Copies of this chain bind each other. A is one copy, B any other.
Amino acid sequence: MSLLQKIQHQRHDFTHRAFDRHIRLGVTGLSGSGKTAFITSLVYQLTQGDHPANLPFFDVVREQRYLGGKLSAQLPDMPRFPLEQNLQYLLQASPQWPPSTVGSSRLGLQLRYKATTGLRARLQSHSELSLDIIDYPGEWLLDLPLMEMSYQQWCEFSWQLFNREHRAALAQPFLQQLQDADLANDGELYVQQLTDSYKQLLQQYHDLPGAYLNQPGRLLVPGPLAGAPMLQLFPLLPQQAAQNTALVAKLTQHYDSYCKHVIKPFYRRYFAALDRQVILVDCLSALNAGYAATQELRQALRLILQSFNYGPSSLLSRLFKPQISKVLFAATKADHTTPEQHKALTLLLQQLLQQPLKHSQYQAATTEAMAIAAIRSSNSGFVQLDGLAQPCISGSTLQHEAVTYFPGDVPTNLPTPALFAQHQFAFIPLAPLPWQEPEPLPHVRMDHVLQFILGDKLR
């Protein structure tokens, strides 16, 4: 092989490898946190919204090196994120939020750009990066702690939770039913009947603002597991779970199967393949729901962070070698407050994460917290009040009534019970702003999001 051939061969090789550059981005968040809006916006910004004026803090766009993004061929047998359908909801005369997805979906993008320096810039006219966006319910991450608990410990954990102020009333009927339970009875019908009662309770909690910790994560949306014995699962009262009875034995067996056949495979096959992760958090709804809700959100985030703690003694590093290198925590719906409150919202999110972050001392991933709105639902401005300019936002309620108002201050610290007793937070849900193509899809800080997630890979 001549030197020229060798160089050409290497060059070909390099091009090929360059073409293979690939990022798998996980997007998650608890139910209602805004996953659908986030992914819809992210993809739209990367494919249609790549103007410096729209994404000023996304380096590759600002430097005019971004050549464009397009949807790539989808895996034929994986649920696909319904991007086009979602955009239709936003393009209506009275725009609506697209419906939330159930379970997991995927969307692939091919991004093309000019590299700045290095071999790539010299050898190629353009570089490519393929981006896989994988969306899954945050509730799946809340299952991880089950693997470190026994069935009995889970019962204790669950009933401590159900006894809290905002949850206790709903739990009464199920509590009553368990108190009268026949622990010697492990018959199919009986176990299913108690499971159905627990499912009903979980559904009520799911619909209750501020109840985040609903386990096991697959009981409400079983998908292909519907009817599998291990989904006959509910927490007995702790004093019951300590007894050696037929019912306890059966539930323990189902609990162990759930860990083995649901939780482990999710982390091994799914989570292990992710390179970067976005976690969406709706702090404002927690404030609306009161003190107990903010405490439970903090606890849920602490449990979720365990999935990003790869220290030598962590549960995950015993399961597989994780490779997530960047985690973004985003406080969504920032546009439901006035712009000068965004800083406070970011600080509040950081405070929610602070204690957990301190605990995960071996954490290998870079984390960042920011306040965003993936798709804007308000414009901000000022009204004159007693001669003073008072900040305000204007938009439409979900019932399409126009409103202009000051939604109130966002606390920079988790408020105390005393403050909640005096003050009711009320961040009203708003509909998306009217929007027509080819205008850019209005957002708050999606350019910062893109820079954090992709900036280093698009140099």
Interface residues of A: mostly helix, strand, loop or mixed? helix
A76 at interface (Cβ–Cβ under 8 A)? yes
Partner of A228, one of B79, B83, B229: B79
Q: How far is the CA of A15 from the CA of B223 in the complex (A)?
A: 40
Chain B proximity mask over A73-87: 1 for CB below 8 Å, otherwise 0: 011111110111100
Contact with B along A171-189 (1 / 0, CB 8 A): 0000000000000000111
- Once A85-B192, A227-B82 are accepted as A-B contacts, the answer to whether A77 and B261 lie under 8 Å apart by CB is yes
Query: Are A228 and B84 touching (Cβ within 8 A)?
Result: no
**A83-B188, A85-B192, A189-B88 as given contacts; A77 in contact with B227, CB under 8 Å:** no
Instruction: Give the chain B neighbours of A192 by CB distance below 8 A.
Output: 84-85
Beta-carbon nearest neighbor of A188 in chain B: B84
Please state if B85 and A225 are interface contacts (CB–CB under 8 Å): no
Chain A 374-415, CB-CB to B under 8 Å as 1, else 0, gives 000000000000000000000000000000000000000000
Q: A78-B228, A84-B189, A85-B192 are in contact. List 16 more A-B contacts (CB 8 A).
A: A76-B254, A77-B225, A77-B228, A77-B257, A77-B262, A79-B224, A79-B225, A79-B227, A80-B227, A80-B228, A82-B227, A84-B188, A85-B189, A88-B189, A223-B224, A224-B224
The CA of A227 and the CA of B83, in the complex, are separated in Å by 11
A90 to chain B, nearest CB (A): 13
Q: How far is the CB of A217 from chain B (nearest CB, A)?
A: 15
- Bound state CA distance, A378 and B262, in angstroms? 45
Q: Assess the B230–A76 pair: CB atoms within 8 A.
A: yes
Q: A88-B189, A224-B223 are in contact. Are A230 and B82 (CB under 8 A)?
A: no
Chain B CB within 8 A of A123 CB: no
Please report the C-alpha to C-alpha distance between residue A253 and residue B73 in the assembled complex, in whole angstroms. 11
Residue of B nearest to A224 (CB): B224
Q: Which of A122-139 contact B (CB under 8 A)?
A: none
- Asked if residues B76 and A228 are in contact (CB atoms below 8 Å), the reply is yes
- Whether, in the assembled complex, A226 has its beta carbon less than 8 Å from a beta carbon of chain B, the answer is yes
Contacts of A188 in B (CB 8 A): 83-85
Within 227-252 of A, Cβ neighbours of B (below 8 Å) are at: 227-230
Query: What's the Cα separation between A82 and B191 when bound, in Å?
Result: 12
Query: How many whole Å from A216's CB to the nearest CB in chain B?
Result: 13
Chain B nearest CB from A151 CB (Å) reads: 14
Shortest CB–CB separation between residue A435 and chain B, in angstroms? 17
Query: Is the CB of A360 closer than 8 A to any CB of chain B?
Result: no
- Chain B hits for A83, CB < 8 A: 188
